[in-house]
Structure 1
């Protein structure tokens, strides 16, 4: 972290307090991002972006206000931003009817450097990206390969008026890949994202990127001769990649306390299980948690953007709704401690309650045993596109491919498949969870107004339940 940026951050806290703010926190951030886009053997671009700035959040007259500054250079810029924020709070406080307070949080002073085994390197990213592109392009019937490797080096300094000073430095390395096949008027695409928090080891270890490139290219080609699915309600066995998006959409988002309270209803929706803490919402096989302490996932961090230390939070235990994800404000409303889930895309935005690494808990079933018991059903593989109602009650999620299960055997490959369900009915139908727990990287979760895109982890094991399956066409 640049010394001048740190000094301006510390100054902002002092000036805000001197200006009469009841509370203030300041996040200064620096990010270096390098990325490359490779399509069909051609490098479309190599891009480097450096960004730094300060986000200032304060309470004056019981009302929040926020201001941000890109690449600040002087105390005068800080003063101007805080003066404007204080003025806004005073103005909007006149019409504010509700009062709020923050759940107590200890003062923390800490510096954390997250584990990086192999420093991110653009030349190495290009090399890996080129290899993956060749693997995909050389596969029969492939007409397009798109490879987008990228990394970020990040430094985040958090200070608040309660005495906390927390500096966190970390790197993320990710590769996005799409393989598109075409023949006889039919086009099929399969995509995958690999990577996590750390260095080049996130995509180099065990040739993870190359193996994934080979798998998606092969599957895209095979899907050209796959069958559509007939519509029926049946037993489904969902693989961990599909479960990660299912978890994200119908377990993670409705667990965010701001949605539960209806604070996001206007632009992002609410939660169907509002007021149901302690009630049974699924089968006893269903266990769900959010855990920012899982190392190497894209949701790994030790302190959130309110300076709250992270921990594993049980959301659902044996089918019973136990907790929501909380910030300091909602924690006071629910009379529970904040869970460390307050995050912003960067310094330009107010933080929101966000998933870190929300997962369905592991089970003890072998996947082949789960399949063997199915007389008529489907093996659902890999996430695609979700469509969920405002309260996360009715849902449909398309998968990249599926396979028919007949008398315990996996048979026909199926394309263009959508899986649909009603949240409580589906949760109640879950009768088996596999022992193949996997965390997948999510790089584009949107929430808020203005919209913020966030990276995180989601995951779980293979799960078995009942849902409606049909073809897109």
Structure 2
């Protein structure tokens, strides 16, 4: 972390408190992103983007204010921003309005997340060209898009309570798309791989090359796949699909600000508002959020309020037991903050966000779960979600599906949407596999102005009941 930014953040805290703020925290952040895009073995672009600045959050007379400044050159600039923020709080203050924050221990710590193999643009280009070649070698493939990228990040948090926390980490990710065309039909399969760490996140055991071959073969096979008729029945969902399902109808409604209706106008609420302590699924349903899962894109030690992270149980043996909390909502729900207060970067006010929300592992082998199905469908890999305002009615398309007949996987199916309601689907779950997997999510949106966030989500193979139909 740039020592000048840290010094400006420290001075900003003192100035804000001397100017009448009741509380203040400042995030100094630096990020550099390097990326390359390769289409059909041709390098389309190579980019380097750098950003740094301060995000300043404070309250006075019970009213929050937030401001940010990019690449500050003098403390006078920061003083001006803080003065404006304090005036804004005073203007919006209401009589008897207070902000009550859950007590949080002060920390003075620096955390460097491990990087086993430092990434570089040259290596990204080499990997991208190799994957593009692998994809294009498959019959009927007409286009490959490979987009490897990495970011180096440094975050310094300081607040008026005495905490000083620095976290330094690297994320390495590759997005790939394989497009097949034949007989007037076009099909595409995409995948994202990566995590928090170095180049090993995509290169370990030839991982990314194997995935390139896999998506190309599946896209090619889908040209001759069958369509599906609408039917309600047994579905077996693979971990990749489960991770998006968990994200949309378990993760988002677990964010306490949604439960309280604080962002209802632009993002919706929560279908289980007021149901803590109530049964929402079978005894084999366990859901948690865990920022401590190593190498996940949602791995961090302290959130943007300086709260130390831990695994948080959300659903335990089918009972809703908690939501994700910040220091303010924890007071309202009479519980502890969970370390989920995060912002995309210093430019934004932190919000309650998932870190790595997952359905817990089961004890069943996936092939045994499939063998017990007389008539049903194997649903594979996430695609596009459509969810209502309260995360109650859901519809998620999958990249492909397969018919299950008498315990055997038969026909390959394309253009399939899976639908249901949250409570009915979770009540229907009768088996969870022992193949727990965490998947990377790179574009979760929330807030106004919209913040796009990276995170992990996961789960095992899950069997339940839902409706499937064709996209067309």
TM-score bracket, shorter-length normalisation? over 0.9
Per-residue deviation, 1:98: 4.6
Aligned mates of 1:236, 1:97 — CA distance in 2? 53
Aligned to 2:323: 324
Aligned to 2:418: 419
Per-residue deviation, 1:122: 1.1
Moved runs in structure 1, 4+ residues, more than 4 A? none
Deviations 1:105-130 (A, max 9, x none): 11111100001101121111110011
Aligned to 2:447: 448
Per-residue deviation, 1:100: 2.9
Per-residue deviation, 1:55: 0.3
- Quick check: 1:13 aligned with 2:13? yes
Question: Against the structure 1 CA distance between its residues 122 and 265, is the aligned structure 2 distance closer, same or farther, given a 3 Å change threshold?
Answer: same
Aligned to 1:26: 26
- Quick check: 1:83 aligned with 2:88? no
Aligned mates of 2:73, 2:97 — CA distance in 1? 37
Aligned mates of 1:347, 1:185 — CA distance in 2? 48
Aligned mates of 2:102, 2:331 — CA distance in 1? 5
Equivalent residue runs for 1:5-154 within 5 Å: 5-94=5-94, 98-154=97-153
Aligned mates of 2:271, 2:173 — CA distance in 1? 34
Equivalent residue runs for 1:8-407 within 5 Å: 8-94=8-94, 98-407=97-406
The two structures, once aligned, show a CA RMSD in angstroms of 0.8
Q: Secondary structure at the match of 1:68?
A: strand
Aligned mates of 2:155, 2:217 — CA distance in 1? 41
Which stretches in structure 2 are left out of the alignment for 5+ residues? none
Q: Secondary structure at the match of 2:348?
A: coil
Deviations 1:151-173 (A, max 9, x none): 00000000000000000000000
Per-residue deviation, 1:97: 7.2
Q: Secondary structure at the match of 1:435?
A: coil
2:113–2:169 Cα contact (<8 Å) kept: yes
Aligned mates of 1:120, 1:317 — CA distance in 2? 40
Aligned mates of 1:41, 1:238 — CA distance in 2? 34
Aligned mates of 1:422, 1:50 — CA distance in 2? 43
Aligned mates of 2:334, 2:373 — CA distance in 1? 44
2:28–2:155 Cα contact (<8 Å) kept: yes
Deviations 1:53-82 (A, max 9, x none): 000000011100001000011110110110
Per-residue deviation, 1:99: 3.1
Aligned mates of 1:309, 1:372 — CA distance in 2? 43
Q: With structure 2 as the length reference, what TM-score do the two structures score?
A: 0.99
Q: Secondary structure at the match of 2:53?
A: strand
Aligned mates of 2:188, 2:56 — CA distance in 1? 43
Aligned mates of 1:73, 1:4 — CA distance in 2? 9
Deviations 1:298-333 (A, max 9, x none): 000000000000000000011100100000010011
Aligned to 1:431: 430
Per-residue deviation, 1:237: 0.3
Aligned mates of 2:120, 2:434 — CA distance in 1? 35
Which stretches in structure 1 are left out of the alignment for 5+ residues? none
2:61–2:97 Cα contact (<8 Å) kept: no
Q: With structure 1 as the length reference, what TM-score do the two structures score?
A: 0.99
Aligned mates of 1:207, 1:72 — CA distance in 2? 43
Per-residue deviation, 1:92: 1.1
Deviations 1:361-385 (A, max 9, x none): 0001101100000011000000000
Per-residue deviation, 1:393: 0.4
Q: How many residues align?
A: 472
Deviations 1:203-239 (A, max 9, x none): 0101111000000000000000000111100100000
Aligned mates of 2:145, 2:60 — CA distance in 1? 49
